[in-house]
Amino acid sequence: MNMKVLVTGGAGYLGTVLCRKLLEKDYKVRAFDRLLFGSEPAKDLLDRDGFELVEGDITRVDEHPALFDGIDGVIHLAGLANDPSCDLRPEMTERVNYRASLALAQKAKAKGIRPFIFAASCSVYGAGEGELKETSPLNPVSLYAEIKIKTEGALNEMAGASFWPVHLRQATLFGLSRRMRFDLAVNVMVLHGTMNKKIYVLGGGKQWRPFVHVEDSSDAFIAALERAEALSCEAINIGSNKLNYQICDLADIIAANLEDVTLEVAPGDAERRTYKVNFDKMTRLLGTTPTWTVEDGVREISEALAAGSVPEPESPRYYNIKLLKELVEKPATMGGEPACDDFVPFSLPLLGKEEEKEVIAVLRSGWLTTGPRTQRFEELAREYLGCSQAVAVNSCTGALHLTLAALGIGQGDEVITSPITWPSTANVIVHLGARPVFVDVERDTLNIDPDLIEEKITDRTKAIVPVHMAGRPCDMDRISEIADRHGLAVVEDAAHAIGSAYKGRKIGTIGKAACFSFYPIKNITTIEGGLVATDDEELAENVRILSLHGITKDAWKRYTASGTQHWEVVVPGYKYNMSDVQAALGIHQLPKLEGFIQKRAAMADFYSQGLKELSDVVTLPCDQPDIRHAWHLYIVTLNTDGLSVDRDSFINGLKAENVGTGIHFRSLHTQGYYRETYKHKPEDFPNAAYLTDRIFSLPLYPKMDGEETSGVLRAMVKLLRYYSKGA
Ligand SMILES: Cc1ncc(COP(=O)(O)O)c(C=O)c1O
């Protein structure tokens, strides 16, 4: 017989024994295994004819396009293999044991492979009563068992003439394997009895369990493979009627077969999982009956331990849960398990059907650019912000540029702003021929430090542009007071701050004007978009004229029935108007803003609660009375002195954990143009320089679900702990 079998988990505890037996029966074998133990367990198999070992993860089968080539049947053993391992990270269990199993089966089926023998488990009977048969009620008491049941069911749904899944519900395995496990009842009792002369009885000892030796279980898998067509969709218990034991009796037998061993019933609650199983169906349908007794297993394992053929038997790697914990705690960049199953992007917009419909309506209306929907958006913005004037434009950059231009800022003027900002805050000042004069930020708020503003004011200073970083309002009382005293305009860079409030007043109603952004990652989006909010009618009018080439009022209406063909250039303006396609999004996004902010705030709180115990290595956004933070960003500052990695390596580490991040921002005074042109040195703005190398932003957006925020937090905690020098 020359059938070729793919054995997932082929270098594992059962897999190594099964592969050897398959080869002995002249099968060809391709073992697919993550090799957490290296290839050592498969060493004896590697030089045998007909054996191949492919290193890989069942959750990433796509990386192995030739995996199924030449394969006639699949034995699927790979997965997380006991209750505690499955409880460690439930979503990982779902992904590995369920989703990956189905994906594997679908691929096998698509390749025309019919036999698919699935390693199921008797633990599906859970808290069982009486002698349990395959037809008995399933009563799982663990996630491990629940997922085994779900997988059996889903595989059966795929079954048909061209796909034959068979489920082997194994009893608790025991026996010697080249990839040894000591987290199985018989094996661990033999280990402790041999090494410590003491056997611990866990879970009370009264619970029933059936047992089966790995050699006998392997025979059952081979028999099932050979009869798969006739057995399609069958679940078959794998074990022996003679090997059902209560744990305390099992301990007695093992103790009796070793020398000078005492028993100790460990304190703790009685285990809920108890099942005594009937195995007649196995003998009837597979024609195999186990021959190995527990006593045989004791002899075999104790001899191997005495001969020293299990290296470092006390090592945690013989316990799946310990192995898995190590894997989960290790950074993914070093071969550990990523904290998030799927990549969590840094940001995603949340758009609904309303936005979609409105955009289509605009496209069908024939009026695409600035028009009725832009007007409607401005009206909604005025209502929401509580300002008298709102001019919608195509970006916050445009909004800032226009406002400063409309205020007459130009050649030779100076404008004060902070260097921790997006380039456009300063770029637009340069575009106008003026000079951006930086004032350092506060380390805890990342906002302009009001104490340092006055020393930078000269007779050329015309305006202050405070940036409400991340949606946290600047100290507007102090800034306004300074500005008033020196006759300066305050133009707020409120790109992050739609929905923020300072002492009960919404941002957009405090300074001379506030400029908002609706870029896709912002709290609401119009794809690209911005808005100038002000109470100054003349300023708004000038911004509007400048936003559309500097041609006369209502020029946008020139193609409407009520418009006029004649227009006049009154000033050389810009082209920054918002289109109705953009506004179509805005008029549905704005009413959702409050809900979005509440979600963002709840997520920010979740991160802060989860990270607060790590405050020696990470500084979190600070609490501040009298403000409403709009939580556009959740920015943390790494205490790199307490860590063995720098910020960039840390965020690369997060990427490997499947977490996207952003840097908001590298200080402008350290960047090419500003550094060279104004001869800034890093130490000119010490806080901005400090933050430049230490800050980054975590994903925070209403589209995220609880699993994603938990994953991000898990990744942060893992890396902070791992790289903490104090750990
Ligand atoms: C602080 C700050 N100001 C201005 C802008 C420019 O916004 P926009 O992309 O809408 O031009 C941004 C963009 O991210 C920003 O973060």
Tokens of 552: 């006369």
Ligand 1 within 6 A of CB of 493: yes
Which residue of 396, 448, 498 sits with most ligand 1 atoms within 8 Å of its CB, as the best mutation to test the pocket? 396
Ligand 1 within 6 A of CB of 396: yes
Atom nearest to 521 CA in ligand 1:
14
Q: Residue 412 C-alpha to ligand 1 middle, in angstroms?
A: 24
Residue-level pLDDT at 1: 54
Ligand 1 within 6 A of CB of 61: no
Ligand 1 within 6 A of CB of 667: no
* 97: DSSP letter: I
Which residue of 391, 401, 424 sits with most ligand 1 atoms within 8 Å of its CB, as the best mutation to test the pocket? 424
Strand 618-619 and strand 695-698: the pairing is unpaired
Please give the angle made by the CA atoms of 296, 206 and 259, to the nearest 5 degrees: 40
Atom nearest to 528 CA in ligand 1:
10
Atom nearest to 529 CA in ligand 1:
10
Q: If you compute the radius of gyration of the chain from its CA atoms, what whole number of angstroms results?
A: 34
H/E run at residue 102: helix 100-110
Nearest to residue 170, comparing CAs of 232, 126, 229, 123?
Answer: 123
Ligand 1 within 6 A of CB of 467: yes
Calpha distance 25→19 (Å, rounded): 10
Q: Residue 667 C-alpha to ligand 1 middle, in angstroms?
A: 14
Q: Which residues contact 471 (CB under 8 A, 6 or more apart)?
A: 496, 497, 499, 500, 523, 629, 630, 631, 632, 633
Count of CB atoms situated within 10 Å of the CB of 460: 12
Ligand 1 within 6 A of CB of 397: yes
Ligand 1 within 6 A of CB of 576: no
The residues pairing with 592 across neighbouring beta strands, listed in sequence order, are: none
Ligand 1 within 6 A of CB of 347: no
User: 55-58 — which CB contacts under 8 Å span 24+ positions?
Assistant: 56/32, 58/8, 58/32, 58/34, 58/96, 58/100, 58/101, 58/104
In the chain, the domains with their CATH numbers are: 4-181+210-244+275-294 (3.40.50.720), 593-723 (3.90.1150.10)
User: 94-98 — which CB contacts under 8 Å span 24+ positions?
Assistant: 94/147, 95/59, 95/341, 96/58, 96/59, 97/144, 97/147, 97/148, 97/151, 98/147, 98/150, 98/151, 98/154
pLDDT under 70: residue ranges of the chain: 1, 553-558
What b-and-e string marks burial along 590-612, b requiring 16 or more CB atoms within 10 Å of the CB?
bebeeebbebbbebbebbeebbe
Atom nearest to 398 CA in ligand 1:
11
Ligand 1 within 6 A of CB of 395: yes
The residues pairing with 441 across neighbouring beta strands, listed in sequence order, are: 448
Q: Residue 400 C-alpha to ligand 1 middle, in angstroms?
A: 9
Tokens of 267: 């304190």
Atom nearest to 469 CA in ligand 1:
1
Residue-level pLDDT at 37: 83
**CA 19: distance to chain centroid?**
36
Q: Residue 494 C-alpha to ligand 1 middle, in angstroms?
A: 8
Q: Residue 725 C-alpha to ligand 1 middle, in angstroms?
A: 36
Nearest to residue 228, comparing CAs of 83, 346, 76?
Answer: 76
Strands (E), 85-239: 115-121, 127-132, 164-170, 172-174, 198-201, 208-213, 235-238
| Ligand 1, atom 14: closest residue by C-alpha | 422
Atom nearest to 397 CA in ligand 1:
11
Q: Residue 424 C-alpha to ligand 1 middle, in angstroms?
A: 7
Q: At what angle do helices 247-256 and 185-195 cross, to 10 degrees?
A: 40
Tokens of 201: 């009885």
Q: Which residues contact 405 (CB under 8 A, 6 or more apart)?
A: 432, 546, 574
The residues pairing with 5 across neighbouring beta strands, listed in sequence order, are: 29, 73
Q: What Å distances lie between residue 261 and 196, 198, 622, CA to CA?
A: 8, 5, 59
Q: Which residues contact 444 (CB under 8 A, 6 or more apart)?
A: 619, 622
| Ligand 1, atom 16: closest residue by C-alpha | 422
Maximal C-alpha separation, the chain: 108
Q: Which residues contact 205 (CB under 8 A, 6 or more apart)?
A: 246, 247, 248, 251, 265
Q: Residue 499 C-alpha to ligand 1 middle, in angstroms?
A: 16
Residue-level pLDDT at 553: 66
Q: Residue 496 C-alpha to ligand 1 middle, in angstroms?
A: 8
Q: Which residues contact 487 (CB under 8 A, 6 or more apart)?
A: none
DSSP 138-179: P---SHHHHHHHHHHHHHHHH-BTTBEEEEEEE-EEES--SS
pTM of the model: 0.85
The residues pairing with 209 across neighbouring beta strands, listed in sequence order, are: 245
| Catalytic positions, written as ranges | 522
Q: Which residues contact 706 (CB under 8 A, 6 or more apart)?
A: none
